[in-house]
Amino acid sequence: MEKKNKIKLILSYLFAGIGWGSFMFVINAVINAITIDTTDLNDVERVIGFFDNIPTYTIGYFAVGIGFFGTAIIYEIERLSFGLKLIIHMVIGIGVLLIVGFSFSWFSFENPVNIIGNIIFSAAMVFIGWTVAYIQNKKEVERINKVLAEKNHRKPLDTD
């Protein structure tokens, strides 16, 4: 691949990761604002802590976004098997999530449920991303098969 195209590809994944991180940051902020229990001092402190540390949280979410969605660029490397790509992707993604989570005190060892919940949620987001990509790929294949069928003067196949 040309160097220019490689750089464009890397940047597109990087910005996709930052974009996803930004989106999750906004969702988290909205959830915090909506679910705050003003009668519970701990909850109020928790939410205040979130909004008081917006720059830190922003960097953290960007890093996790790049860790999970930016590293999806691994799937562009065709010589690697799908299994290996998946392992590398998830190891890096979860690794970044844990490093950021513990560094910014989002997680603590006293609350393993929070850690596991975040890992499962992030993996679920990646799965949703895959599913969307698969659906788009399938639609593309259907369009191409329609053209092939017209070329071969037959009805399009019902593939997949």
Give me the residues that bind another protein (CB under 8 A), please.
1, 75-76, 78, 82, 130, 133-134, 137-138, 140-141, 143-145, 147-149, 151-152, 157, 159-160
Closer to another protein at the Cβ: 60 or 93?
93
| CB distance 29 to 36 below 8 Å | no
Query: What's the min distance (Å) between Cβ of 23 and another protein?
Result: 22
Q: Which is nearer to another protein, 46 or 139 (CB)?
A: 139
Q: Minimum distance between the CB of residue 93 and another protein, rounded to whole angstroms?
A: 17
Nearest approach in angstroms of CB 144 to another protein is 5
- Nearer to another protein (CB atom), residue 110 or residue 160: 160
- Cβ atoms within 10 A of the Cβ of 100, count? 20
- CB of 61 closer than 8 Å to CB of 25: yes
Closer to another protein at the Cβ: 46 or 138? Answer: 138
Alpha carbon distance 65, 23 (integer Å): 9
Dihedrals phi, psi of 104, to nearest 5 degrees: -100, 15
- Nearest-approach distance from CB 140 to another protein, in angstroms: 8
Angle of helix 54-68 versus helix 112-151 axis, rounded to 10: 50
Give the contacts of 96 (CB within 8 A, at least 6 positions apart): 63, 64, 66, 67, 68
Question: Smallest distance from the beta carbon of 83 to another protein, in angstroms?
Answer: 9
CB-facing half-sphere around the CA of 160: CA atoms within 13 A: 9
Select 31 or 149, whichever has its Cβ closest to another protein: 149
